[in-house]
Structure 1
């Protein structure tokens, strides 16, 4: 059948028209975007700035929802089983209020206890950097003298210590200045923060109604199976993201607390500063913890190199405790992503989008991995492929004994079989297409014959 006849057919005409319109629209938008990139970026950032309170409210509501669910489903589960009417009425507002108290308490503790200690530690570290560098220089010289290493043997290690001290002092001063600027800039976003909190409270209080409204929109404008699939994907994503957020935050708090107890018990200097670095960087799976430990080692080696040995020994002990007791119970398989894909997410998304890319890329990759596994499982079930078939070993010796020809002859035979198989598949597809075209031709011929017969006899007599 010709393209014009296929386009005019009621079965394929609308589909072809819709696809052509989509291609034309996409092409026009792509050309417009390529020639107006800066304008589109300006519009995007303007909309993003205007929607900052809304997006921040969604983020805060998502974090608070983890705490609210913990109160509703675990802390006060005994009241849920009783099904008291008064509890059903006040359950959500009361749990939101308790969640706010928890966050406010943590924030207050951070401001009153941790921030002053951090500022004091950073100031002390900045003041003592020249002395620490001088101590390291003296220790290196004594070590070289002990092993009879002359200056001629280490000419390639000549270092301008005065320049290094100046740069280290300048970097520390700049870092303290950046902390001050960040503290001052917090005051300029109080309004946005307040609006975000109000919006997040509204979302938490009416999340069931909001979810019902979103489901109604999906079922109202999309086919039922597509709407259901979107809801399932959203549920999977929510489960993975919430588990990741709750698990990583809890693990980071526990690690920071353990490091503070350990470094304080060992009487290591800058215990609070090192513990905060290790705890906060532990939010980044796999690599964040080791980066925090490396920063702690750098700080301690400037004070006394022997402290690094104590710190590393404590880190190894803490890793055993965390790996065997804490991680399986707190985080477990919350994201369901193998370690190789976690590392891939950290490297790729971190390189593209920075810290936020790392934090959001890992659960996003977990969602993709989960959906891919579901699709793969369904395909294997449809083809009746079991684990025995997948794990069936290949007996190479028996295969080589069957074919006594040369390797080139075996390869030629294999390629010939593949060509024959592809030819049979192509022939089957061609026959199916010809059959469909014949049916369409026959249907079109019947329609044309019916049109040529003219009106009924009664109409002619009239």
Structure 2
């Protein structure tokens, strides 16, 4: 026999938990937006503080940084979108010819292509069925929602950057005085790890974008800058970003010749190895000190829970989780957190001088 006895207070606590979970489910999209805003705030805060220390009004500093970021993103999209449309149109119109080139190239390499029938299969593709009017409207709605969400994130990020000190003061009202030192340490570590990851990602994206552009220009592929920008965007996505960066560039090069496609493919794959084995460890250092298995599980969990957004937020969230775990382990082992000696990636000097 199992006998359960619940007091009125216990029943009330369970009810409040259930109501809280219901609100969490209902407000999940808003929580994602706020979480994303906090991540961008952690990445941009050192630059805002740097400008404020040099006499620039805080609101003006935030506006300058966000306007510059939005201008860069808008320019990148303006470069990529027309090039992608042109390449897709060219691929659709000449796919049977490209399929024949694939068979010829494979045959020259020694493959038996007699039963492949790639040109015939390419000619049988019904493009009107693949790209219907309803799908265009659906994707258009998704793009519009994405733009509105991005603007919302920008507005919330701006508010967080402007009101950072007030928010910090409000938060510390709920922390006991004897815990304030630990709370300061914890928040600084969180800002360093999450912000450092975002800034490190900016470096790797910039490098792969420039490298891809140079390779495409040397090989003689049209729209080289657009594919470099596309590679920079794709590099943000963990694990599969490298594949996304390589495939479109290789396809575009194949439309020129199989030899050019092979050169681009090999060059970009070599770079992926260089980035994974040398560049990323040097740029991130201890900022994102996560085992490969943890990265994989975080990305898979993020993709399962929130799709593409979850994939993008997986590593910052995992890095923040590592800060919490390190804090707990240091407290249990030493009674106090370990000193923070990690240098922030691409952050201005004296990031906490005004805090």
Is the pair's TM-score, using the shorter chain for normalization, greater than 0.5? yes
SS class of match (2:205):
helix
Larger radius of gyration: 1
What is the CA distance between 1:357 and its match in structure 2?
2.1
Relative to 1, partners in 2 of residues 1:186 and 1:276: Cα closer, same or farther, differing over 3 Å?
same
Residue 89 of structure 2: aligned partner? 123
SS class of match (2:289):
coil
Residue 348 of structure 1: aligned partner? 301
Residue 113 of structure 1: aligned partner? 79
Relative to 1, partners in 2 of residues 1:60 and 1:120: Cα closer, same or farther, differing over 3 Å?
farther
- Partners of 2:298 and 2:79 lie apart in 1 by 35
What is the CA distance between 1:209 and its match in structure 2?
1.1
- Partners of 1:363 and 1:198 lie apart in 2 by 20
Residue 284 of structure 1: aligned partner? 237
Residue 415 of structure 1: aligned partner? none
What is the CA distance between 1:193 and its match in structure 2?
6.3
- Asked whether 1:208 is paired with 2:165, we answer yes
**Is the CA contact (8 Å cut-off) linking 1:129 and 1:169 kept in structure 2?**
no
SS class of match (1:334):
coil
**Is the CA contact (8 Å cut-off) linking 2:36 and 2:313 kept in structure 1?**
no
Write the deviation string for residues 142-180 of structure 1: whole angstroms up to 9, x where unpaired: 548x77x595xxxxx555754454448468746x98577
**Is the CA contact (8 Å cut-off) linking 2:37 and 2:157 kept in structure 1?**
yes
Which of the pair is proportionally richer in helix? 1
Where in structure 2 are there 5+ consecutive unaligned residues?
336-355
Write the deviation string for residues 83-119 of structure 1: whole angstroms up to 9, x where unpaired: xxxx2xx331332232133123213422443322232
Relative to 1, partners in 2 of residues 1:226 and 1:23: Cα closer, same or farther, differing over 3 Å?
farther
- Partners of 2:9 and 2:95 lie apart in 1 by 64
Q: Could you tell me which of 5, 11, 17 is aligned with 1:24?
A: 11
SS class of match (2:285):
coil
Write the deviation string for residues 278-308 of structure 1: whole angstroms up to 9, x where unpaired: 3222112344213432454455456533223
Q: Could you tell me which of 258, 268, 279 is aligned with 2:211?
A: 258
Q: Could you tell me which of 282, 295, 315 is aligned with 1:362?
A: 315
Q: Could you tell me which of 40, 50, 64 is aligned with 1:98?
A: 64
- Partners of 1:249 and 1:326 lie apart in 2 by 13
- Partners of 1:337 and 1:196 lie apart in 2 by 27
TM-score by length of 1: 0.57
**Is the CA contact (8 Å cut-off) linking 2:42 and 2:192 kept in structure 1?**
no
**Is the CA contact (8 Å cut-off) linking 1:126 and 1:173 kept in structure 2?**
no
Q: Could you tell me which of 307, 314, 331 is aligned with 2:267?
A: 314
Write the deviation string for residues 319-363 of structure 1: whole angstroms up to 9, x where unpaired: 476468754564333222133322232233334432222222223
SS class of match (2:288):
coil
**Is the CA contact (8 Å cut-off) linking 1:346 and 1:358 kept in structure 2?**
yes
- Partners of 1:231 and 1:150 lie apart in 2 by 66
**Is the CA contact (8 Å cut-off) linking 1:263 and 1:271 kept in structure 2?**
yes
**Is the CA contact (8 Å cut-off) linking 1:57 and 1:199 kept in structure 2?**
yes
SS class of match (1:283):
coil
- Partners of 1:143 and 1:170 lie apart in 2 by 34
- Partners of 1:306 and 1:365 lie apart in 2 by 41
- Asked whether 1:244 is paired with 2:197, we answer yes
- Asked whether 1:137 is paired with 2:124, we answer no
Residue 444 of structure 1: aligned partner? none
TM-score by length of 2: 0.71
Where in structure 1 are there 5+ consecutive unaligned residues?
1-16, 81-86, 152-156, 383-462
**Is the CA contact (8 Å cut-off) linking 1:215 and 1:231 kept in structure 2?**
no
Residue 409 of structure 1: aligned partner? none
Write the deviation string for residues 360-410 of structure 1: whole angstroms up to 9, x where unpaired: 22232233334434444555558xxxxxxxxxxxxxxxxxxxxxxxxxxxx
Structure with the larger RCO, 1 or 2 (CA within 8 Å, 6+ apart): 2
What is the CA distance between 1:212 and its match in structure 2?
0.7
Give RMSD over aligned pairs.
4.3
- Partners of 1:294 and 1:194 lie apart in 2 by 30
